Amino acid sequence: MKVKLTVGVVVTGSEALKSEKGANIYEYMVDKISSLGVEVVGFDKPISQGAGVSKQASLFFSKNNVDLLLVIEGTWTYDNLLIDVTKFLNCPIIFWATPETFNVPFPQTCTLVGITQTCGTLVKMDKKIKVILDDIYREEGFNKFKNYIHILSIIKKLQFTNIGLIGGSRCPGMLDTSFHELELRKQIGPEVIYVPSSDLLSEINSITDAQAEKVQKELIPDDQIENVEKDIMLQSMKIYIATKKLVEDYELDAVGYKCWPDLRHANICSPCFTLSKLSDEGIPCACEGDTMGAVSMYILQLLTGRNVYLGDFLKADTKTNEAQYFHCGAASSNLAKDKKEIIYRKNAQYSDYDWIDGLIVDFPLKPGRITFARIGEIKSKYRMVVYTGEATETDMFVRGNPARVKLDSSAEDVVNGLIQNGSGHHQIAVHGDILDNLKLFCEFLNLDLAVL
């Protein structure tokens, strides 16, 4: 679902100071913000003493239910006026002030005085304030503002997000993937849609071999398939077709997939290929019924536009601070260094569990800067746990999707931090260093953040 952010815009202007440029600044900024694909509601009167303008602005922005208010500091003005303007708002407020040059005998606008006075007062009143100190016409300042828009748009989108739990519950023996559904809705926004295994099985049984074979030929290069029996290939394609239909029917944005024991009991192979392919298509999937893993993957995808990795923290070298990660072969193919080197083969993990080995997408995680981030609940309060590192070249030390990472912090500190913050065993990671944006995301959403 496309959800537009509503941005309020207003400018301050004092009769005692030079504010003749205020109207031009206001019109310029309204036009520029409108180009970002957001809904702009501008209050076109400058906030100054007298005429009850500040109270009019208060009612205007409250009526329009703005998600963000931009206050352009045209000049210093009385701080009580901005208290009026923001009185009924429970959203972030950005103050933008153009610094005055040093070679002017006396400040003409006193913008710096204005924001230190007004913003300090508003913080005392529990308002969430951010400040941009830059020329209003410089792209650097506007890019900072655009980033605020980006993060707040994601937070609003999360209020309309559907996370599917296919299988209807977590996997047995994995209490660490449990979550508080109502607190998730309240604190972060997504709704969990429970899709019973019976729906999945019914869809799988309705798909013909001919349909499955057609999809296989469209999706998988023949020369990258290794030792996969026809019935396993067709069954894997049927799981993909069926799951994609459920994603469309239930309007799911991300999926926590309870793969076992349900499919095993139904004599259906493991669904790793399905999770990989759906992730390729923009529907991040976490296996083993890990709903909060899926939520975390979706958030990282929204923040970066990149596919997200899920893996178990398998090994750590406390001397070199290197870590190895792994999962069965369900990662997005876009996480491979070279897609031509991907091998489509049977899962090597499940035969010991009396479960049919399904098709996997076999490759190591590509190298590059990487950020691990997972949202989880501890004592009914959600928080995000973050750490960073450098993904390096690795051999296939295990089948599936292995990864090797040189951690920025000590391996021991990372492990202890994960434990002390009640993080789950699935580690969620995306390429790039996005720590600053995660800090903003948590600040705007009032989430606790633990950086390891």
| Chain centroid to CA 62 | 28
Q: How far is CA 409 from CA 392, 405, 412, in A?
A: 16, 11, 8
pLDDT of residue 190: 97
Angle (CA) 308-310-313 rounded to 5° is 135
The domain spans of the chain are 6-158, 162-451
Residues 105, 143: contact at Cβ < 8 Å?
no
Angle between helical axes of 197-205 and 230-249 (0-180°, round to 10): 120
pLDDT of residue 44: 87
Give the residue among 429, 220, 452 at the shortest CA–CA distance from 326. Answer: 429
Write out residues in the chain with pLDDT < 50, as ranges: 16-17, 20
End-to-end CA distance of the chain, in Å?
34
CB atoms within 10 A of CB 156: 17
What distance in Å separates the CA atoms of residue 3 and residue 253, rounded to the nearest whole number? 13
Give the residue among 440, 308, 451, 312 at the shortest CA–CA distance from 387. Answer: 451
pLDDT of residue 17: 46
What distance in Å separates the CA atoms of residue 134 and residue 119, rounded to the nearest whole number? 16
Structure tokens at 282: 């923009």
| Chain centroid to CA 305 | 9
Residues 122, 93: contact at Cβ < 8 Å?
yes
Would you call the peptide bond into 261 cis, given omega within 30 degrees of 0 as the criterion? Answer: yes
**β-bridge partners, 381:** 378
Q: For domain 6-158, say whether CATH 3.30.420.40 is its number.
A: no
What is residue 334's DSSP assignment?
Answer: G
pLDDT of residue 12: 87
Would you call the peptide bond into 107 cis, given omega within 30 degrees of 0 as the criterion? Answer: no
What is residue 251's DSSP assignment?
Answer: T
What distance in Å separates the CA atoms of residue 281 and residue 240, rounded to the nearest whole number? 12
What distance in Å separates the CA atoms of residue 301 and residue 292, rounded to the nearest whole number? 14
pTM assigned to the model: 0.94
Q: Please give the helix or strand (H or E) that residue 249 lies within, else none.
A: helix 230-249
The topology (CATH level 3) of 162-451 is L-fucose Isomerase; Chain A, domain 3 (3.20.14)
